[in-house]
Structure 1
Amino acid sequence: MKFHRMRAVLIAIPFLMCVFFSNVKEVKAEANLKELQKKATSYYEILYPNEPLPMWDWLGANVGLEKGAGPWMELYKPVPLQMYWFPGRHYVKPDGTYYDQLLERFKPTDCVTCHEEVTPGFVNDWKDSTHANPKKSPQFAEKTQQIEKLIGRELKEVTCSDCHGKDHKELHMPTPAHCGECHPKEVTEFMGERERGRPNHIDGLMANVVPPWYPEMFRRGYPAAQFGCDLCHATDRCNICHSRHKFAAAEGRRPEACMSCHMGFDHPDAETYSESKMGYIYHMEGEHWDWEKPLAEVVPGKDYRTPTCQFCHFDQGNGTFAHNPVTKGVWRMGTIPPKGIEYKSSLKDYPYGINLPPMNYKLDVYSPENKKRSEQWVNVCSKCHSPRFARLYRENLDEFMFEMWRLQDRAQGILDEIVALDAFEVPIKKRDIFPLGDILADALGPGLLGEAVYSAFKTTGGKVPVIGPILGLYGVFMTGKNNPSQIELEYANMWFGDKAHAYKGVAHGQQDIAWWYGAAKVYQGINKLESQAEQLKKLKKLDELLESKKRKGLAGILGSIIGGVAVLMISAAIWKKRRDASQQ
């Protein structure tokens, strides 16, 4: 009997230990989730703490439409649509007769009934969402139970008030800080983008309003022209990928979720992916794939026969995926000059003493961190290709980018000479200022601008030609009188647009865009710059010659006039002397 008891105890011990450690693990997971929730709901306070300079502490509270955001917030007022794109700072609660009439007809609790009449599209999207039926499948039921433990209440459905607030007088547009109450893991992963520096989605608003050409457009009376910048840079929100009010994870896993922003002139990701072999396979077969399956469970070649944007960019290694597509980024959109090139132009001095991120360093593609990221890319590509092919392709991309930067160095040298000679069609002194050039020096100071750049702006009042990365990009964002000139625009289009097509075409395997809309355009651009530079230098010499002849001509005319006056004065004196003598 004792033997059987002992045997039962020995059998039970492993089981009890398993239960014990399972409970400990569950308690620890819940504690970790609570900690993540605390971080996620403090979204803005963590991302934008008080900075040494007060003007950079700019996203703490909602200011409505009375002033902008960033260091230039007092120089412009946001256009009304920004209340939807940057709700954390600019949202204004609805008011007016129409809104008052609705509140008379419907109770504050009648959200769905009211909006079925006012915005039926919203309601139908919500009804089709997991928020409306959070336990519609075993997978979602398990996830919902975790959320219920986290927030301390049962969730039969996630309603309007859960996201927009219960008080109609204090309605708000949801931000990641609100989403983080239930989805802290996803929000904190998203917050992690900022650790990689710009460019990233979190700093979308900052990257929009900090460059000086943004407020300069408002000063010149073109605020509505910034529509594209505002809408595309409103990226610090969950609904940039999970469209409201459906918020479907399956929708967020499809390439189209990325394409409305990642396309066009400066980052043609949509075009290069869609027109690649990968994109064609997706378009032919993607409708039959299981988009409900989490990325970590996707089997390449079985679930997806070709990768998607999310499958490649969300991969964190070791079989994990996260809401953070920038961790493996090496070339940083190809806008920062890399080390490893013997620059002959002024690019050798980049960043010119500037201490403003992301302009304050040269890129080291082969640093230990970036080597690790490159290896992560090789591992991702090796899920479908052989490791040797993946490594060779990655190395080819790096060499291709170095080639593009050598060409940009050549182009920068051409512009350097024109700047040194002041051979622009209109002399620098007669041009409009660089955006905010009249206040940049005093606003930022030598510590951020660097002594050389600070002195240039201070002594010229902002009439400084700025070319190349990244500040030289202002030409495609603002228009001043005679600034930028044609040759500067040609250069900006070449390095920011054509080179981007070349880079993205190679990165996504689209050969036609890599060549005809990319590298070939860069080559042609350099020849155009060289031709224009020769014409400008000839015109400069011609102007100097004409000015010299003009001066000589003026001197001759002036000498003739002076000589004539002298002869007249002498003749008058002789005549007067003779007249006086005859009268005696």
Structure 2
Amino acid sequence: MRNLLIAGLLAGGIAGMVPLLNAGATQSAAVPVSKDTQDCLFCHEDLHPGIVSAWRESRHARITPGEAIQVKGLGLKVSSTEIPEQFLNVAVGCAECHTQRSEAHSGTFDHGGYDVHTAVSPKDCATCHAQEADQFSRNLMAHARGNLVNNPLYMDLARTIEGRVARAEQKLEFTPADPLTQAESCLHCHGTELEVVGSEERDTFHGGMEFPVVTGWPNQGVGRVNTDGSLGTCGACHNRHQFSIEMARQPYTCKKCHVGPDVPAYKVYSASRHGNMFSTHGKEWDFKKVPWTVGEDFTAPTCASCHVSLLADASGNEIAPRTHQMTDRLPWRIFGLIYAHPHPISPDTSIIRNADGLPLPTNLDGTFAGDFLINASTMAERAENMQKVCRSCHGSAWVNNFWERFENTIMTTNAATLEASRIMLDIWDKGYAVNHLAGGSPFDEAMERRWSDVWLFYANNIRFASSMAGGGDYGVFADGRYHIAQAIMELNDWFARQKAMDALGNTGQPASKPSLQKAK
């Protein structure tokens, strides 16, 4: 089969060179393509023209690693100090990504005489981008799947959201979602596990061929478990097969998973002054330059400029280094689980246990699980990293006062969540709802879900509005302070009515149930 492909390639007269257009390199007008990648292109140019076209537009197709590694200073994009010799002087093509490290992938299969794996992993990308792969492996995003599926409380919440609901004798029963539903709901962003479960024969241009059957595929979730055991996918932000820096810097890319209402980053950004400037002037910005020069290449931040990108001033001085460990500029974890809290020390949050033995970074009274969270010194260092980015456009007084309001918002939203949690604890203690320590779930009854609204939606929305937009309507009436106050009122009124009914003898004796605290 391999000889057939090569013969067809030569007969077809396909050149082993890729035109070098706008690549930022001047060494040659075209980039050589390896013989192995030429074999891939011979078939896939016709079978998958969209994929091949995206690759031809990529930097991978337009400059060799050997040329890229010669770049000096902040413009260097290749972080590996040693690159295998066979990759140095050819474009990074199909074979360079899909056939290397084939022995490490359980999904490797014979394809036209080549050992191919479908899902390229961060460890494959580490051949040229070692630093980025290492940083990403220490990132919460890389562990997003495990942090969800290995936490029984989070999975219980997921069961009541995406699972199948049925009514029996006036009681609702939730069963866990099937794998296909999970793959297109929570695990769409958190990541599936790619597992080879067999093989199948398909008709192809060259007749019947065997392909692996991989469950969990397709998926571009940030915490995907790959067939080589690695976590995550670079394609979550740098969409395959173009792997564009420009795309990763656009807020639309982050919008895929951060649109809300639980993590309302994009909708808040789009309504902010920064988002307004992007909408108006973004078409004039240069999203490809490395380093990214503030005031020249762009004039207002996107998600990437605050959290990831290598930023420089007009004199070429570094403002913030490139990082793929997203917490490097984040002291606070602001989406409430159940309260905002300092970021975890380990990206594997499933190991966290609060004082009550629950897999939560805080206790139900709002105090932190301190042994598992970063200390004040690390928080201050990360806050300074972020504020350096802010000060590239704003004066110190502006930044300091903005940050003071933001941290005040963390305190006030945590305080509101505490009041809601105290009411919920009273509801559980009186037996009006049944939590998981009493054989039920803390999420499958109406008032429990109303309590969840407080911290899962409303407190989050207020904090994101404070951190990104500086406040305004998204922090008040658009699932903000108005709604958090209303939810607390409803919880309190419902509890008061239940107690009044008890006093009148309308409900009988409430059962004694343990609260969502450590069982005595």
Question: What TM-score does the superposition give when structure 1 sets the normalisation length?
Answer: 0.59
Equivalent residue for 2:252, pick from 244, 256, 261: 256
* Residue in structure 1 matched with residue 405 of structure 2 by the alignment: 396
1:249-299 deviation digits (Å, cap 9, x = unpaired): 2222222221111111211111111111111111111111111211xx333
- Report the Cα offset of residue 465 of structure 1: 5.0
Match of 1:353 among 342, 353, 356: 356
Q: 3-state DSSP class of the match of 2:329?
A: coil
5+ residue gaps, structure 1, are: 1-98, 194-199, 341-349, 435-456, 467-474, 476-483, 549-584
Cα distance in 2 for partners of 1:188, 1:146 equals 11
Which of the numbers 242, 267, 282 marks the counterpart of 2:278?
Answer: 282
Percent identical among aligned pairs is 23
Alignment of 1:113-262 (within 5 A): 113-135=42-64, 142=71, 150-153=83-86, 154-165=88-99, 167-168=110-111, 170-172=115-117, 173-193=119-139, 200-212=140-152, 214=155, 217=163, 220=175, 222-223=177-178, 224-226=180-182, 227-233=184-190, 234-235=221-222, 236-262=232-258
User: Is residue 2:448 matched to residue 1:514?
Assistant: no
2:292 corresponds to 1:298 = yes
CA gap of 1:106–1:267, structure 2 versus 1, over 3 A, is: farther
> Which is further off, 493-502 or 326-335?
326-335
Q: Corresponding residue for 1:320?
A: 321
Where 1:326 maps in the other structure, the secondary structure is: helix
Q: Is the 8 A contact 2:79 2:130 kept in 1?
A: no
CA pair 274-137 structure 1, distance change in 2 beyond 3 A: farther
Amino acid at match of 1:231: H
Bigger fraction of residues in helix:
1
CA gap of 1:386–1:179, structure 2 versus 1, over 3 A, is same
SS at match of 1:304: coil
Aligned to 1:416: 425
Deviations 1:530-552 (A, max 9, x none): 1221222233344x45759xxxx
Greater share of strand: 2
Distance 2:121 2:67 in 1: 28
- 3-state SS, counterpart of residue 449 of structure 2: helix
- Pick the aligned partner of 2:450 from 490, 497, 500: 490
Name the SS for the 1:252 alignment partner: helix
Deviation at 1:158, TM superposition (A): 1.6
8 Å Cα contact 2:270-2:276 kept in structure 1? yes
Residue 53 of structure 2 aligns to which amino acid in structure 1?
N
| Bigger radius of gyration | 1
What whole-Å deviation, never above 9, does each CA across 1:322-363 have from its counterpart, x for those lacking one? 2222112222134254689xxxxxxxxx93432646458446
What is the root-mean-square deviation of aligned Cα atoms in Å? Answer: 3.5
In the alignment, is residue 532 of structure 1 matched against residue 489 of structure 2?
no
Please name the residue that 1:564 is paired with: none
Distance in 2, matches of 1:389 and 1:321, equals 25
Superposition deviation, residue 137 in structure 1: 12
Change (3 A) 1:519 1:262: same
Shift in alpha-carbon separation, 1:338–1:494, aligned structure 2, 3 A: closer
Indicate the residue corresponding to 1:330 in structure 2: 331
Letter paired with 2:39 = D
Separation (CA, whole Å) in 1 of partners of 2:244 and 2:309: 20
TM-aligned CA deviation for residue 307 of structure 1:
1.2
Q: CA deviation at 1:125?
A: 0.5
2:309, 2:321 within 8 Å by CA — same for their partners in 1? yes
Kindly provide the amino acid, as one letter, of the partner of residue 354 in structure 1.
Answer: G
Q: Answer yes or no: is the 8 Å Cα contact 1:180–1:187 preserved in 2.
A: yes
Go from structure 1 to structure 2 and tell me whether the alpha carbon gap of 1:264 and 1:334 turns closer, same or farther (over 3 Å shift): closer
Code of the residue aligned with 2:46 in structure 1: it is E
SS in 1 for 2:138: helix
Aligned twin of 1:439: none
Partner of residue 394 from structure 2, selected from 373, 385, 390: 385
- What SS class does the counterpart of residue 476 from structure 2 fall into? helix
Q: What is the match of residue 167 of structure 2?
A: none
| Counterpart position of 1:501 | 461
CA contact (8 A) 1:242 1:248 kept: yes
CA contact (8 A) 2:329 2:383 kept: yes
Cα 1:171/1:138, change in 2 over 3 Å: closer
Q: Tell me if the contact between 2:319 and 2:388 (Cα under 8 Å) persists in the aligned partners.
A: no
Q: Distance in 2 between matches of 1:500 and 1:389?
A: 23
Q: Which amino acid aligns with 1:333?
A: I
- SS of corresponding position for 1:204: helix
CA distance, structure 1, for counterparts of residue 81 and residue 411 of structure 2: 52
Does the residue aligned with 1:129 lie in a helix, a strand or coil? coil
Distance 1:532 1:106, change over 3 A: farther
Residue matched to 1:92: none
The one-letter amino acid of 2:116's match is L
Count of matched residue pairs: 381
Label 1:253 to 1:139 Cα distance change in 2 as closer, same or farther (>3 A): farther
Inter-partner Cα distance in structure 1 for 2:6 and 2:175: 44
> How far does the alpha carbon of each residue in 1:359-388 deviate from its partner, in whole angstroms, 9 at most, with x for none?
584468981221222233322211111101
